[in-house]
Structure 1
Amino acid sequence: MSTLPERPHQEGTKAATGPPAWTYADAVPKRFGDFEVISKLGQGSFGQVFLARQVSLERHVALKVMDGEPTGHNEGQVLAGLEHDHIVKVYSAFLDPPSGLSGLCLQYVPGADLGVIIRRVFEGGRVPESGRALLDALDQLRRGDPGFDPAALRDREALEADDFPQAVCRLGGRMAEALAFAHANGILHCDIKPGNILLTPYGRPMLADFNVAFDRTRHNPEDTRYGGTLAYMAPEYRAVMLNLPGGKADERCDVYSLGVVLYELATGTRPTLQHNVSETKETIAQGTVPARATLPEVRTVPDAMTHVPRELAAVICRAIDPEPTHRYQTATELATALASARQLLTARRTLPAPSPIGRWATAFPLYALAVAGILPHVIASLVQISYNAVEVRLTTEQGIVFAWLVIVYNLIAYPVFGGTALYLFRQVKRQLPKVATMSGPELDAFRAQVCQLCWRAAALGAIGWFPGALIFPIVIDVCAGPIPWQLYAHYFISFSLGGLIGVVFSYLSIAYVVLRALYPQLGNADTYTPTKGWNEVYPLTAPFGAMVTLASGVPLVGAVLLLTLADTALTLGFRVLVAGLIGAGVAGVGLAERIVRRLHLLAAVWQKDAEVR
Structure 2
Amino acid sequence: MQPHKPSQVEPAVDTHSANLHNADTSSVLARYIEQFIDAWERHAEQAPVLSQFLPANDGGLRRLILVELIKVDLEYRWLHRDQPKRLSEYLHDHPELQSQAIPPDLIYEEFHIRRQCGLEIDPEEYLTDFPEHADSLRQLLGLKDEYQSTLVTRPKTSVTLDAIEAGETIDDFDLVLPLGRGAFARVFLARQKSMQRLVAVKISADHGTEPQTLAQLDHDYIVRVFDQRQVEADVLRLLYMQYLPGGTLESVVERVQQTPEDQRTGQILLDAIDATLEKRGEIRPSDSSIRQQLAEMSWTDTVAWLGSRLAAALDYAHRRQVLHRDIKPANVLLTAEGVPKLGDFNISFSEQVSGTTAAAYFGGSMAYMSPEQIEACLPGTGRTPDELDGRSDIYALGVMLWELLTGARPFDDNVNAGWANAMETMLQTRHRGVPPEVIARLPRDCPAALRRVLLRCLEPDREHRWSDGGILHQQFELCLDAHARELVDPPPESWRLRLRAYAVPVVVALNLIPNAISAIFNYQYNRRQIVEQLQDATQKFDLIQGIINGVAFPLGIALVGWLAWRSVRGLRVLARTGSCPPDDVPAIRRDVLRLGGRTAMICLAEWIIAGIAYPISIHLAAGSMPPSAYLHFIGSLVICGLVATAYPFFGVTSYAVRSVYPAMLQSCPGGPADVRELKRLDQRLSRYLVVAASVPLMAISGLSLVRPAGNVDGHLQLLEQAVCLGGIVGFGLAYHFYRQLQGDLAALLRIVAPRHRDASIEAGVFG
Q: TM-score range by the shorter chain?
A: 0.7 to 0.9
- Taking the TM superposition and a 5 Å limit, the aligned residue runs for 1:262-277 are 262-266=398-402, 268=406, 270=409
- 8 A contact 1:60–1:108 mirrored in 2: yes
Matching residue within 248, 254, 269 for 1:113: 248
- Taking the TM superposition and a 5 Å limit, the aligned residue runs for 1:160-309 are 167-168=302-303, 170-176=305-311, 178-179=313-314, 188-213=323-348, 217-221=353-357, 224=360, 226-234=362-370, 237-238=373-374, 240-242=376-378, 245-249=382-386, 253=389, 255-266=391-402, 268=406, 270=409, 282=420, 298=431, 300=433, 303=436, 304=439, 309=448
1:261 Cα deviation (Å)? 1.7
Q: Which residue of 1 aligns with 2:575?
A: 434
Deviations 1:215-235 (A, max 9, x none): 662423178364322333455
1:388 Cα deviation (Å)? 2.9
Matching residue within 27, 33, 36 for 1:6: 36
Q: Does 1:453 align with 2:591?
A: no
- 8 A contact 1:114–1:197 mirrored in 2: yes
1:45 Cα deviation (Å)? 1.6
TM-score by length of 2: 0.60
1:505 Cα deviation (Å)? 1.4
* Inter-CA distance 259–566: structure 2 relative to 1 (3 Å threshold): same
Q: Which amino acid aligns with 2:655?
A: V
* Inter-CA distance 279–528: structure 2 relative to 1 (3 Å threshold): farther
Q: Which residue of 2 aligns with 1:388?
A: 526
* Inter-CA distance 434–443: structure 2 relative to 1 (3 Å threshold): farther
Matching residue within 335, 340, 343 for 2:474: 340
Matches of 2:710 and 2:321 in 1, distance apart? 92
Q: Which amino acid aligns with 1:373?
A: N
Q: Which residue of 1 aligns with 2:6?
A: none
User: Could you say what the CA RMSD is over the residues aligned between the two structures, in angstroms?
Assistant: 5.4
Q: Which runs of 5+ in 1 are unaligned?
A: 354-358
Matching residue within 494, 497, 513 for 2:639: 497
1:265 Cα deviation (Å)? 0.5
- Taking the TM superposition and a 5 Å limit, the aligned residue runs for 1:479-494 are 481-482=622-623, 484-486=625-627, 487-494=629-636
Matching residue within 362, 369, 373 for 2:511: 373
SS at match of 2:649: helix
Q: Which residue of 2 aligns with 1:506?
A: 648
Q: Does 1:534 align with 2:675?
A: yes
Matching residue within 133, 137, 147 for 2:283: 147
Q: Which runs of 5+ in 2 are unaligned?
A: 1-24, 55-152, 488-492, 755-767
1:451 Cα deviation (Å)? 1.5
Matches of 2:605 and 2:263 in 1, distance apart? 52
Deviations 1:365-415 (A, max 9, x none): 459757643443344345435523541333685333444555565566555
1:417 Cα deviation (Å)? 3.4
- Taking the TM superposition and a 5 Å limit, the aligned residue runs for 1:80-159 are 85=220, 86-87=222-223, 89=225, 107-118=242-253, 120-121=255-256, 126=261, 131=266, 134-135=269-270, 138-139=273-274, 143-147=279-283, 153-157=288-292, 159=294
Deviations 1:106-138 (A, max 9, x none): 654333322442454466783899755544554
Matches of 1:320 and 1:352 in 2, distance apart? 23
Q: How many residues align?
A: 585
- 8 A contact 1:465–1:498 mirrored in 2: yes
- 8 A contact 2:372–2:383 mirrored in 1: yes
Q: Which amino acid aligns with 1:380?
A: S
1:482 Cα deviation (Å)? 2.9
Matches of 1:108 and 1:234 in 2, distance apart? 30
- 8 A contact 2:308–2:476 mirrored in 1: no
- Choose 254-263 or 516-525, whichever is displaced more: 516-525
- Choose 30-39 or 539-548, whichever is displaced more: 30-39
- 8 A contact 1:196–1:207 mirrored in 2: yes
Q: Which residue of 2 aligns with 1:569?
A: 710
* Inter-CA distance 372–116: structure 2 relative to 1 (3 Å threshold): farther
- 8 A contact 1:257–1:320 mirrored in 2: no
Q: Which amino acid aligns with 2:433?
A: T
Matches of 1:546 and 1:184 in 2, distance apart? 43
Q: Which amino acid aligns with 2:530?
A: V
Task: Considering Cα pairs closer than 8 Å and 6+ residues apart, tell me whether 1 or 2 has the greater RCO.
Answer: 1
- 8 A contact 2:398–2:458 mirrored in 1: no
**Identity across the alignment (%):** 23
Q: Which amino acid aligns with 1:247?
A: T
1:507 Cα deviation (Å)? 0.9
Matches of 2:361 and 2:711 in 1, distance apart? 99
SS at match of 1:228: coil
* Inter-CA distance 321–161: structure 2 relative to 1 (3 Å threshold): farther
- 8 A contact 2:223–2:242 mirrored in 1: no
Matches of 1:94 and 1:29 in 2, distance apart? 18
Deviations 1:126-176 (A, max 9, x none): 38997555445545676535436689x454455557666665555345435
* Inter-CA distance 491–352: structure 2 relative to 1 (3 Å threshold): farther
1:568 Cα deviation (Å)? 5.4
SS at match of 1:282: helix
SS at match of 1:198: strand
Matches of 1:32 and 1:110 in 2, distance apart? 20
- 8 A contact 2:370–2:395 mirrored in 1: no
Matches of 1:414 and 1:205 in 2, distance apart? 60
Deviations 1:46-97 (A, max 9, x none): 145556677898876656566xxx3544756765776655216467658698
Matches of 1:119 and 1:378 in 2, distance apart? 64
Matches of 1:192 and 1:310 in 2, distance apart? 23
SS at match of 1:203: coil
- Choose 130-139 or 531-540, whichever is displaced more: 130-139
- Taking the TM superposition and a 5 Å limit, the aligned residue runs for 1:399-438 are 399-406=538-545, 410=549, 413-414=552-553, 417-418=556-557, 421=560, 428=568, 431=571, 434=575, 437-438=578-579
Deviations 1:562-585 (A, max 9, x none): 556555533253566666666666
